[in-house]
């Protein structure tokens, strides 16, 4: 319907469109509006339903709709192990090793203050789900590679190089500090419907009696297009 051409006729056309919206085409529009956007509807089906010739014309049959088809949000990458992590705002640029689980089911941590480690039980960075990368805040009287992690801000960028030669770029959503005694396991490790990254380090007050920091700092981030450094793009 060419309802947008001719500036002078705009008002008339608008009125016509309004009338149309209340009549036949309205049914199609209603049908379309009831469809979920994740699965583009077939206008043909909606129209056919609206024009159902089944005699009982007292009330139009409800437009047929399918429920949403649940799929991951945004892009996800194929599996590829991380090799390097960069945090430009903190001037962090370090290689990434593998971390497994200890026999007591606590996560292993790097045996030095300079490397970061990827938890092998988590998705690789860029895959669907929460990918876990940890590094030390302190190590043998020196600053660890994630020393300043708690100073990160939402919107900042994290880049992870992967074995397949690709770089997965992430944007920080949230920075949290949690007592280890009440670590938010579900929030950090639980189900998400996009490719996300967690950077974890120690934080908070150091408890000399136990030899541990009392808190963990967790940076939550999600995958963004690696070609859009500031999450802006034209078009």
Told to check if 74 binds other proteins by CB under 8 A, we report no
CB of 226 to other proteins, least distance (A): 20
Told to check if 96 binds other proteins by CB under 8 A, we report no
Between 171 and 216, whose beta carbon lies closer to other proteins?
Answer: 216
Pair 126, 76: CB distance under 8 Å = yes
Among 23, 37, 58, 182, which residue sits at the site for other proteins (rule: CB under 8 A)?
A: 182
Pair 46, 24: CB distance under 8 Å = no
Distance CA 230, CA 222 (A): 13
Distance of CA 71 to the CA centre of its chain: 12
Phi-psi region of 91 (alpha: psi -120 to 50; beta: other; left: phi over 0): left
List, as one string, the DSSP characters of 204-234.
EEEETTTTEEEEEEEEEEEEE-TT-TTS---
Could you tell me which residues are beta bridge partners of residue 221?
A: 172, 197
Told to check if 109 binds other proteins by CB under 8 A, we report yes
Among 86, 206, 222, 226, which residue sits at the site for other proteins (rule: CB under 8 A)?
A: 206
> Which stretch, 7-15, 154-162, 166-174, 213-221, contacts other proteins (CB under 8 A)?
213-221
Among 19, 151, 228, 231, which residue sits at the site for other proteins (rule: CB under 8 A)?
A: 151
> Which stretch, 6-14, 62-70, 155-163, 165-173, contacts other proteins (CB under 8 A)?
62-70
Binding mask 2-41 for other proteins (x = CB under 8 A): -------------------------------------xxx
């Amino acid at each position: 319907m060419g309802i947008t051409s001719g500036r002078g006729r705009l008002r008339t056309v608008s009125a016509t469109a309004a009338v149309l919206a209340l009549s036949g085409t309205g049914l199609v529009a209603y049908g379309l509006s009831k469809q979920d956007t994740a699965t583009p509807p077939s206008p043909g089906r909606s129209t056919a339903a609206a024009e159902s010739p089944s005699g009982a014309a007292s009330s139009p049959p409800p437009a047929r709709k399918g429920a949403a088809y649940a799929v991951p949000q945004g892009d996800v990458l194929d599996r590829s192990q991380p090799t390097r992590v960069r945090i430009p705002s903190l001037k962090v640029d370090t290689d990434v090793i593998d971390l497994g689980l200890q026999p007591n089911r606590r996560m292993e941590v790097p045996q030095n203050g300079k490397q970061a480690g990827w938890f092998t039980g988590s998705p690789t960075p860029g895959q669907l789900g929460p990918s876990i990368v940890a590094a030390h805040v302190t190590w043998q009287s020196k600053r660890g590679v994630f020393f300043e992690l708690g100073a990160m801000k939402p919107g900042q960028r994290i880049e992870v190089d992967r074995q397949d030669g690709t770089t997965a770029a992430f944007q920080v959503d949230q920075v949290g500090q949690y007592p280890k005694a009440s670590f938010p396991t579900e929030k950090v490790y639980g189900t998400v419907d996009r490719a996300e990254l967690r950077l974890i380090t120690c934080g908070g007050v150091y408890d000399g009696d136990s030899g541990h920091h009392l808190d963990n700092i967790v940076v939550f981030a999600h995958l963004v297009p690696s070609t859009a450094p500031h999450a802006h793009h034209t078009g």
